[in-house]
């Protein structure tokens, strides 16, 4: 038995550190597991009550959504049509034909199958946001507000989505610049069109569902230099 306290204390201190570390890590793991489970769980009264507390720990570093084509995958295709107005060197104004920007980006992604481009994520993100915007707009319309209140609600909604509209305008500007290199582009327009996927029961029929206009940005001022 060694009476020197320094020698005896070495293994004890190490084991204590292991114990302390283990307890701390166990608590952290339990808290993380609980918070993540609350975050990813389907909506329920319990989740609504817990989420404000658990999201303080998970947001922003551990934010996560794992629905992955669930509960149901989309049943329609949404494409962005971009159109541009430009002035030729003689000063005459022209309006270009509508061009399907989404199809172009999909073809671009398919060009390199092993490393597809992420450009296609942009129109997908935009149509998700526009779908939300149109949904809220529909709710406001159906709320039977008086004209002034409805106008105020629409203005607040447009303000909320101002960043999204700006991004779409910049995206359309970049697309127009690629379509008309060297021209003086003045205005751009982005239109979101929608086509339902043929139902499974009609899959062998040759006719396709028609494209419908879902949202129109209207003519907006061209933003020069996007992505340049």
Partner 1 sequence: MKGSVLLVRTEQFFERFAVQRHRLIGLALLRVVLGGSALVMYMSDYGNRELLWGPDAVTSFTEFRHTIPGGQFSLYQFSTSQLWFEVVFHLGIVVALAFAVLGGRILTVIHAVFLLSLFIRDPQLLEGGDNLARIVILFLPFATTDAYFSPFAERRRRKLAAQSGPSAVTLLHNFMALFVVFQVTVLYFVSGVWKVIGQTWYQGTSMYFISRLDQFAFSGPLTWLMNNAFAGTALSYFTIVIEVAFPLFVVTRRRWLRELGVASIEALHIGIAFGMGLVVFAGIMIGGDLACLRDDDYRALATRARTLLSRVRAARPTLPESVPSSLADPSIALVDAHEV
77 makes contact with partner 1 (CB under 8 A): yes
116 makes contact with partner 1 (CB under 8 A): yes
Angle at 132 between CA 85 and CA 122, to 5 degrees: 50
- DSSP bridge pairs for 187: 85, 221
Q: Measured between alpha carbons, how far is 209 from 75 in angstroms, rounded to an integer?
A: 12
* From 8, 46, 87, 125, residue interacting with partner 1 (rule: CB under 8 A): 125
Of 224, 226, 228, the residue nearest 183 (C-alpha): 224
Neighbours of 196 (CB within 10 A): 13
* From 3, 90, 118, 144, residue interacting with partner 1 (rule: CB under 8 A): 118
Q: Which of 29, 53 has the CB closer to partner 1?
A: 29
* From 8, 9, 21, 93, residue interacting with partner 1 (rule: CB under 8 A): 21
| Interactions with partner 1, residue window 158-197 (CB under 8 A) | 163, 166-167, 170-171, 174, 197
Cβ 103 to partner 1, closest distance in Å? Answer: 7
Is 169:188 a contact under the CB 8 Å cutoff? yes
* From 8, 9, 18, 132, residue interacting with partner 1 (rule: CB under 8 A): 18
60 makes contact with partner 1 (CB under 8 A): yes
Is 99:177 a contact under the CB 8 Å cutoff? no
Q: Which of 62, 213 has the CB closer to partner 1?
A: 62
37 makes contact with partner 1 (CB under 8 A): yes
Q: Measured between alpha carbons, how far is 78 from 117 in angstroms, rounded to an integer?
A: 19
């Amino acid at each position: 038995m060694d009476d020197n306290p320094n020698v005896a204390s070495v293994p004890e201190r190490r084991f204590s550190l292991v114990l302390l570390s283990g307890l701390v890590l166990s608590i952290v793991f339990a808290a993380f597991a609980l918070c993540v489970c609350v975050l990813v769980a389907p909506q329920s009264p319990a989740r609504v009550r817990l989420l404000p507390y658990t999201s303080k720990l998970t947001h922003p570093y551990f934010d996560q959504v794992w629905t992955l084509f669930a509960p149901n995958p989309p049943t329609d295709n949404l494409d962005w049509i971009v159109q541009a107005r430009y002035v030729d060197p003689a000063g005459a104004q022209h309006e270009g034909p509508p061009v399907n920007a989404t199809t172009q980006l999909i073809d671009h992604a398919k060009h390199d199958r092993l490393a597809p481009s992420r450009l296609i994520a942009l129109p997908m993100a935009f149509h998700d946001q526009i779908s939300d915007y149109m949904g809220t707009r529909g709710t406001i319309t159906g709320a039977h507000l008086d004209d002034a209140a409805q106008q105020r609600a629409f203005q607040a909604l447009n303000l909320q989505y101002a960043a999204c509209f700006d991004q779409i305008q910049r995206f359309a500007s970049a697309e127009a610049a690629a379509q008309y290199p060297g021209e003086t582009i003045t205005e751009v327009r982005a239109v979101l069109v929608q086509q339902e996927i043929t139902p499974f029961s009609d899959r062998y029929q040759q006719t396709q569902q028609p494209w419908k206009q879902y949202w129109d940005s209207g003519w907006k001022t061209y933003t020069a230099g996007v992505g340049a």
